[in-house]
Structure 1
């Protein structure tokens, strides 16, 4: 609706030198424009907030992973995964933290220095560790090198059973104390006092040479079935064409029942290759796992994303890096020895949440909060304008009273004063409209009242101009007397 503001002012008496000049107010629609701009700004702010939340939720996260010792197969696997995660443009990046071994890696996780760690399942697992994946399964291999041939006689193996290891020297491949503890556990299961056995450890890279030099009577190695270290150590045991004797751990089930982190396993015939199948037949043994574990407090979404990326790159790496093919999903059963992280379980069970499933509640409540804040702001703004509306309503009532007063007035001076007052009321009304205090309908009603006032003033001035001065004075005196 177009309101002619100039026409409202022009209805004042013509030729009056005290006529108030009309201000130059902005368009009546400016309040709506401002509201539109404020609404648009709010929407842009909301979109920006959602975009920022999406960016921070989807930005790459770097996880520290503890692994050791140096030059081990575990380190090589982690380094390969670290490099594979970069071109994959995934949300997770890895930062390897080299340690002295699986025990030190577990300690780093327990102290919160690492987010992930590679640990042995048969060591003390930190209370805050939860399984993400099984890196590999290791088997315990016990064997005895062939006896040295005596001149003219064919030597036979002196040791064929574990109980015969008492009083012997046993070599352990690898410097970790965990392998020594594993050997002691096996000996105790067969009633052999570890104190009556001489245990000698050899670094993995020196094991083959030590075996060739006959440093021990029997040997223990722990690693994957296809471990090159174990295969080389067994190959170094061959003497004068004789093949080593493998000692079966027939009590594997009893060991597994007493120590749940061990499992009953078998070494397939011919697992260690060579010119003759080694071993010649399947050997019963025990196994344990190396796990990729995560801190318990690590966000579920982060671990789920890492697990998804891990198994995605495993498929692409297993051709060029066979060790990656040994990575398996964790045990998600509730009674698992090592509890699974909820994020890894969500991936394995196909229950991984999408972005909106994870943050939908926050977005919804954020929108509800913004709506509530907007409603509260509108109410507060209206409350602040309450006095201004009341004042303008009083002025409008005053204008209506002035219409009746103008029709009875006997003085042009009085009419001019009322017209000046009407101009002030008009100025106040237009200001209220600009501020959004009154609506366009109220301005229309005020326009009608102002028209009626100007008509009353003009009509009364016309009557007074045609009335003799003496009659005007008499009428004024009569009215003044009537008010006494």
Structure 2
């Protein structure tokens, strides 16, 4: 019984422990950067919202120097999630969870300065005319330079024949006002304040910037799957007249939320579910959250979707019972097996006790026959004392579980027959005439002879 009880408690404890570990909050480290970037602001807002919602998943931002450093942190195991650029090298252990936002490439040429006695070259209206010119790139990340080189190569412009200079995002507007370059490239969301400020800084002497369309966007997307053909809508950057004054073709790339390949499917599914539930709450206070989209779940996606995120998107997310039904079933089977094994073991341990009790019952049957032949009340009293000892041992066996209630009932019938046989024999002996030998024995016992 103790073995069975211990086994049952062990299985129940294992199931309770499994349930606790399955539902306890999980904190995921998110690699994101650089400081003061839109990506970091979004992650900080999500972290606060997750904590307030007290959901299954919590976030802990790990600030990095940029998307490349975030990807490295994920690859090295320093983070569970990371915000990366789709046009950079994606870690082999990264799987997409969501698309945080899409960035578009914007190429423009400031209007020529007037009344300053400066000679300006031919007006730039097409990308091939950038050969031999100086191009400013907004932002310090090398990824923006690589993006410019991809565009130039598509139009047959050797990047080596172009002078490229980078400006920190905070210094871009001043550099543009000081005419540090002939043309500029910025990459960011269509509603990016950094891009809009840089374009507004290009407006001088009543002139407006000239936007360079990337008409070969589809060809670039074919050759470089991390890019997509896109458009910048008219008036996207405000101003009067509207900038741009017409829709412009360009290329875009995405910032992704990716997870480690080995991260639990149920954990990623829970994170994805919370992410899109929280997104609706943050849209009014944090408009950038509106840009969050579900990942591409196609098998040929550039970044394969994590199975947990794909299950949420496709409506195939598993419930607690779906995930752990096999474990529960096997636990019940183990409990049943342990119960059977415990019952067998307990029965084996009490085998000798049952055998002894059977012999006692046979002895009681023999006493019934002996009582019916007895010629002495003293002998009957000794039989009665032995029967009492047999009764005591039988009750102990019943208390220990060595015999069942049916065996105890059979024993009580035999005991009743023994008492009846003793009572009948004593009555008969009391009514019989005493023979000389019997009378002499009784007198000697009384001390009269």
Fold shared, TM-score > 0.5 on shorter chain: yes
1:279 alignment partner in structure 2: 244
**How far is the alpha carbon of 1:295 from its aligned partner?**
0.7
Q: For 1:100 and 1:329, how far apart are their aligned partners in 2? A: 26
CA distance in 2, matches of 1:397, 1:390: 11
- Residue of structure 2 in register with 1:82 after alignment: 47
Instruction: Go from structure 1 to structure 2 and tell me whether the alpha carbon gap of 1:192 and 1:215 turns closer, same or farther (over 3 Å shift).
Output: same
CA contact (8 A) 2:7 2:338 kept: no
- Match of residue 65 from structure 1: 30
Further displaced range: 415-424 or 137-146: 415-424
Partner of 2:444: none
- State the superposition RMSD in angstroms: 2.5
Structure 1 contact 157–245 (Cα < 8 Å) conserved: no
Offset, 1:52 = 4.6
- Return the match for 1:443 from 400, 404, 408: 408
Distance 1:88 1:201 in 2: 42
Task: Calculate the TM-score normalised by the size of structure 1.
Answer: 0.85
| Alignment of 1:101 onto 2:69 | no
- Aligned-pair CA distance for 1:115: 0.5
1:223 to 161, 172, 188: 188
Match of 2:304 among 339, 345, 352: 339
Q: Distance in 1 between matches of 2:416 and 2:49?
A: 82
Q: Which residue of 2 aligns with 1:23?
A: none
2:272 match: 307
- CA change 1:376–1:424 in 2 (3 A) is same
Shift, 1:454, TM fit: 2.2
Partner of 1:367: 332
C-alpha contact (below 8 Å) 1:464/1:472 kept by paired residues: no
Partner of residue 468, structure 1: 434
Distance 1:151 1:405 in 2: 142
Distance 2:358 2:8 in 1: 35
SS in 1 for 2:179: coil
> Is the Cα contact below 8 Å between 1:262 and 1:286 reproduced in 2?
yes
1:467 to partner: Cα distance: 4.4
Unmatched tracts of structure 2, length 5 or more: 442-449
On the 8 A contact 1:132/1:292 being kept in 2, the answer is yes
**1:151–1:383 distance in 2 versus 1, CA, 3 Å:** closer
- Matching residue of 1:55: 20
Larger deviation: 172-181 or 248-257?
Answer: 248-257
CA contact (8 A) 2:56 2:270 kept: yes
The size of the alignment, in residue pairs, is 439
Alpha-carbon deviation of 1:279?
Answer: 1.0
Equivalent position SS for 1:86: helix
The whole-number CA distance in structure 2 between the counterparts of 1:169 and 1:471 is 146
User: How many Å separate the matches in 1 of 2:117 and 2:201?
Assistant: 24
User: 1:265 matched to which residue of 2?
Assistant: 230
The 1:271/1:124 distance shift into structure 2, 3 A limit, reads same
Which residue is equivalent to 1:13?
none
Does the alignment pair 1:408 with 2:373? yes
- The answer to whether 1:459 aligns with 2:400 is no
Contact conserved, 2:7 with 2:339, CA < 8 A, in 1? no
Q: How does 1:77-476 map to 2 (within 5 A)?
A: 77-150=42-115, 158-465=123-430, 466-468=432-434, 470-472=436-438
